[in-house]
A and B are shown apart, each in its own frame.
Chain A
Amino acid sequence: MAGKKPQKAGWTRRDFFNWMLNVVMGVIAILVAIPSVGAAITPAFHNAAPVWVNLGAQTGLQQSSVQAGTGGVGTVVKAPYSYVEVDHWAKLPAADYAYLRYIGGSCAFYILSPICTHLGCHVNWIQADNQFHCPCHGSVYTVDGLNVSGPAPLPLGVFRWKMVGNDVWVARESTFTHAHQRTTESPTEPCLKEA
């Protein structure tokens, strides 16, 4: 005890350094976590702009829809398209298709996404039933893309489209269905033609 003060029970030198060590380690952990978590969750904050893709000449599309239908009324036809897909750092030639129907009037075309709103398979157009059938879990959609049976929770997406010269272009969006997603089962066909 000579000349030495008894150790205080409360806040000792050892406690202080222990505390400092914890603070420093905590700060290091936070500094490591910020960029790590940031890198992992980046995609959540990133919204890709729509990519306009060319379906081809309006007259050809109109003709094939009318020819596939009966009595001059157009029905659903596959409208394939190809484009250059910019996927992060990769640029790749890509191809997909839309389901196009000539409906006449001022709207002219009604263009549906083939992506099933259940889990994303491509649906098949079944002309005999006038319906879309999903091969994955059996969802059924009407000719207008309204979900009428199976697990699909929403109608098929509808493409926004516009004329560029004589060609029909659709907006491939970054949503799940690549197209405008209807959230209600409105029986009216939305006209998504843009000037």
Chain B
Amino acid sequence: MYTRIVRWIDDRLMVSPLWRDMADHPVPAHVNPSEKVSAFVYCFGGVTFLLIIAQFVTGMFLAMYYVPDIINSYNSTKYIMHHVLFGLQLLSMHNWGSSLIIIMVTLHMLRIYWMGVYKKPRELNWIVGVTLLLLILGFGFTGYLLPWDEKAYFATQVGVSFTKYVPFVGPALLKILSGGSKIGAATLTRFFAIHVLFLPAMLIAFLGLHFLMIRRQGITGPY
């Protein structure tokens, strides 16, 4: 049955070679933790990617209940925690996952740094990587406001205030980032839009670039 379906699709689109190219791509021994345990450092990027997939999934389901509005967001978050089946677990996975991603991406970046593999010819991938890091931090910053509790409110107040110190355009930037002259209704909708629409779109694009470059250049080593 399975082979027949695959053959039916391949007759029309020939996707098997694309899949085989990824699935049969050999993992070099020096990158394979089952050959050499210390190679686990090469997994940090992949683990980050897996966690990102988990964030996408849990986030999509949270959005079935969450309302990005100053009157309802706190209550809808509480509703998820107390009345949705496994809602607390869903929210906790998204919450803990965000911290784990930041830890893993930092470890990944440290591996890149310590092994010095940002050097030629991988400078562009380092730049894409730094962009990914900023996007990940952007997710954390915008997501933190969404429950609209006191901690979220004041943490965001402190966070957006940094932009005040940008020369010349600081005050305008502060207003643009917070959607008005204070943290309020427009900040929440703005942060929500950034968190669930703008950042995911950019993250997918830059992850694509990151992986294309890795495939193109191959993994570094062994040394």
Partner of A121, one of B154, B162, B172, B181: B154
> How far is A41 from B186 in the complex, measured between Cα atoms in Å?
12
> How far is A40 from B198 in the complex, measured between Cα atoms in Å?
12
Across the interface, do A44 and B180 meet the contact criterion of CB distance under 8 Å? no
Tell me the interface secondary structure of chain B in the complex.
helix
Q: Is A35 an interface residue (CB 8 A)?
A: no
Taking A90-B70, A90-B185, A121-B154 as contacts, is the C-beta distance between A43 and B164 under 8 angstroms? no
Provide the residues of chain B in CB contact with A174, threshold 8 Å. Answer: 181-182
Contact indicator per residue, chain B 168-202, by CB within 8 Å of chain A (1) or not (0): 00001111101111101110000000000000000
Across the interface, do B158 and A119 meet the contact criterion of CB distance under 8 Å? yes
Q: Residue on B with the closest CB to A47?
A: B181
Contact indicator per residue, chain A 19-40, by CB within 8 Å of chain B (1) or not (0): 0000000000000000000001
Contact indicator per residue, chain A 70-102, by CB within 8 Å of chain B (1) or not (0): 000000000000000101111010000000000
Q: Give the size range of B's interface with the partner.
A: 20 to 34
Across the interface, do A120 and B175 meet the contact criterion of CB distance under 8 Å? no
Provide the residues of chain A in CB contact with B85, threshold 8 Å. Answer: none
Across the interface, do B70 and A87 meet the contact criterion of CB distance under 8 Å? yes
Q: A48-B180, A120-B154, A174-B181 are in contact. List 7 more A-B contacts (CB 8 A).
A: A41-B172, A43-B178, A43-B179, A43-B180, A87-B180, A88-B180, A176-B164
Q: Is A175 an interface residue (CB 8 A)?
A: yes
Partner of A120, one of B161, B172, B176, B180: B161
Which A residues form the contact surface with B (CB < 8 A)? 40-41, 43-44, 46-48, 85, 87-90, 92, 118-121, 136, 174-176
Across the interface, do B175 and A88 meet the contact criterion of CB distance under 8 Å? no
Provide the residues of chain A in CB contact with B180, threshold 8 Å. Answer: 43, 46, 48, 87-88
Taking A40-B176, A120-B161, A121-B158 as contacts, is the C-beta distance between A175 and B185 under 8 angstroms? no
Provide the residues of chain B in CB contact with A90, threshold 8 Å. Answer: 69-71, 184-185
Q: Can you give 6 A-B contacts (C-beta < 8 A)? A: A40-B176, A43-B180, A85-B184, A92-B70, A119-B158, A176-B164
> How far is A122 from B161 in the complex, measured between Cα atoms in Å?
14
Partner of B186, one of A47, A88, A119: A88
Which B residues form the contact surface with A (CB < 8 A)? 69-71, 154, 157-158, 161-162, 164, 172-176, 178-182, 184-186
Taking A92-B70, A119-B161 as contacts, is the C-beta distance between A43 and B176 under 8 angstroms? yes
Across the interface, do B182 and A92 meet the contact criterion of CB distance under 8 Å? no
> How far is A44 from B179 in the complex, measured between Cα atoms in Å?
8
| A178 nearest CB across to chain B (Å) | 8
Query: Which 3 A-B pairs have CB atoms at the shortest separation, nearest pair first?
Result: A174-B181, A87-B184, A44-B172
Provide the residues of chain B in CB contact with A44, threshold 8 Å. Answer: 172-173, 175-176
Q: Residue on A with the closest CB to B177?
A: A43
Q: Residue on A with the closest CB to B182?
A: A174
Across the interface, do B176 and A88 meet the contact criterion of CB distance under 8 Å? no
Provide the residues of chain A in CB contact with B186, threshold 8 Å. Answer: 43, 87-88
| B168 nearest CB across to chain A (Å) | 13
> How far is A88 from B178 in the complex, measured between Cα atoms in Å?
12
Taking A120-B157, A120-B161, A136-B158 as contacts, is the C-beta distance between A88 and B181 under 8 angstroms? no
Provide the residues of chain A in CB contact with B162, threshold 8 Å. Answer: 119
Across the interface, do A88 and B164 meet the contact criterion of CB distance under 8 Å? no
Provide the residues of chain A in CB contact with B70, threshold 8 Å. Answer: 87, 90, 92
